[in-house]
Amino acid sequence: MLGSPIGHSLSPVLHRAGYRAVGLDWTYDAHEVSSGELPAFLTRLDDSWRGLSLTMPLKREALPLAAVVSDVARAAGAANTLVRRDDGTWAADNTDVPGLVAALQERWPSPVERAVILGGGATAASALLALATTGCREFTLAVRDPGRAADTLEVAERLADPVDVRIVGLGDDAAADLVVSTIPADAQTPELLAAYAAVPVVFDVVYDPWPTPLVAANGNRVVVTGLDLLVHQAALQFTMFTGLPAPLREMRDAGRTALA
């Protein structure tokens, strides 16, 4: 697992639990890698490395370093996964997008027609792309600075089927079936909570601290958790790395135990 900061990540817990469950004597560790340091890190790796998980600020920096880029990663403009190819080069992929879909549909199988996404970074872009693949066509991006939404807007513009995207400030009212929060818990102000109190489904990608203010504000709503997303995207990575079906239950249980 590469990124910065990285010490809080649950990914090592999930992947190690998966390896134990299927009897693989593999390792999975967290490495602090800051912006601009990924090329040098990759050159130091030998053939024993099967793959890498990436978090910020490396998701966009990984794309030009890969020999092959999946359609999903290209559409998202970001990769959270690098898999070593037989020739020693890397293939870039994005499991955040299908992981978002799987996590949402596990908790809320009904269609989503209108969504509010809080934040405009790489995870927000993946959320928009994921929801668009399920048929959602109306999006509101709520951001502090409209300039921060540029990358997410580019993702929307690359979609084969057009979507309607509106930019508002954080805490501005917006009618929706679903609110997806990609912002830190400490950015979830009382004004923001009030603005989205009537939205029936909340998907908060944060998993620590939990519950976030957005989730705690109304306990009667359907909630999709950051752990749900983390488990599903990690399960997809697990299969890419090992070629084996992921032991989803064991990975989720390990994550719950670690958070508890």
Residues assigned a catalytic role: 59
- Bond into 57 cis (ω within 30): yes
**In contact, 113 and 137? CB cutoff 8 Å:** yes
Amino acid occupying residue 50: R
**In contact, 224 and 201? CB cutoff 8 Å:** yes
Give residues with Cβ within 8 angstroms of 245, minimum separation 6.
239
Say how many C-beta atoms besides its own lie within 10 A of residue 61's C-beta. 18
> 78 phi and psi, to 5 degrees?
-160, 145
DSSP 119: -
Helix (H) or strand (E) holding 178: strand 178-181
By the 10 Å C-beta count (0-12 exposed, 13-18 middle, 19+ buried), 2 is classed as: buried
Per-residue CA distances from 249 to 76, 186, 203 (Å): 28, 30, 20
Alpha-carbon torsion 230, 135, 78, 74, what sign?
Answer: positive
